[in-house]
Amino acid sequence: MTYDPTGHLLLTPIDQEAPARVRRLRELGLGEQPDPAFDEFAHRLAEVTGAPYSMVNFIDENRQFFAGLHTPAGTHSGTDLGATAAAAGGGGVGRFMARDHGYCPHVVVRRKALVLEDVCDYPRFAGNPVVDEIGIRSYMGAPLIDRTGTALGTICVVDTDVRPWGRAGLETIKAMAAELVEQIHRREDGMI
């Protein structure tokens, strides 16, 4: 867990469910490699929401892995979001990100969708490293809770501009998360 030394805010939530999540992800064969179906889902998510970046994100104890990724440039390389973004002048996105970066770990622990139209409006979230290192200004994500009750990860969209996602955005991200969970269940059942 990470604290903001000046404000003593807990920036990364304690995740008691992480060991069970890792076991479940291994059972499902998820979270270790890119998946073309998840890339396609992320692309569709970006189209539906109008966001430049979208991800299908699985989270373990130490990192986040974007098994599905859509970026404006269509690049899906690199190993660390921050390092890749810095090397690309702020625009590159990779498949891995530290657990203390971004907002998806909050979504997984809360087990609820999160909409941040302007992350700077929320002191708890404005201090996150993705704001200064990558320039993220808005975020919308929803948890992927499977049939066992495990929060496997999230789907999310981010933008470097403030976005008025509104109630419609919230309903869209929740509906698309449910759709992806059903896809994961069909895979598990051998139907895909």
pLDDT at 133 (0 to 100): 80
Most confident of 4-13, 80-89, 167-176: 167-176
Confidence band of 87 (pLDDT split at 50, 70, 90) = very low
Say which residue, 53 or 91, is predicted with more confidence: 53
Residue 30 lies in a domain: yes
Task: Name the burial class of residue 132, with classes exposed (0-12), middle (13-18) and buried (19+) by CB atoms within 10 angstroms of its CB.
Answer: exposed
CA distances from 173 to 11, 102, 129, 160, 192 (A): 23, 17, 24, 18, 23
Question: Of all residues in the chain, what percent carry a pLDDT higher than 90?
Answer: 66
Residue 8 lies in a domain: no
Residue 11 lies in a domain: no
The CATH number that applies at residue 110 is: 3.30.450.40
pLDDT at 180 (0 to 100): 98
Global confidence as pTM: 0.84
Residue 91 lies in a domain: yes
pLDDT at 74 (0 to 100): 65
Residue 98 lies in a domain: yes
Confidence band of 176 (pLDDT split at 50, 70, 90) = very high
Sheet harboring 53-59: ordered strands across?
96-98, 63-70, 53-59, 151-159, 138-145, 114-116
Residue 4 lies in a domain: no
| End-to-end CA, the chain | 37
- Give the chain's domain count: 1
Say which residue, 15 or 10, is predicted with more confidence: 15
pLDDT tens per residue across span 107-136: 999 999 999 999 999 888 877 878 878 889
Residue 1 lies in a domain: no
* Structural domain that includes position 157: 18-188
Residue 145 lies in a domain: yes
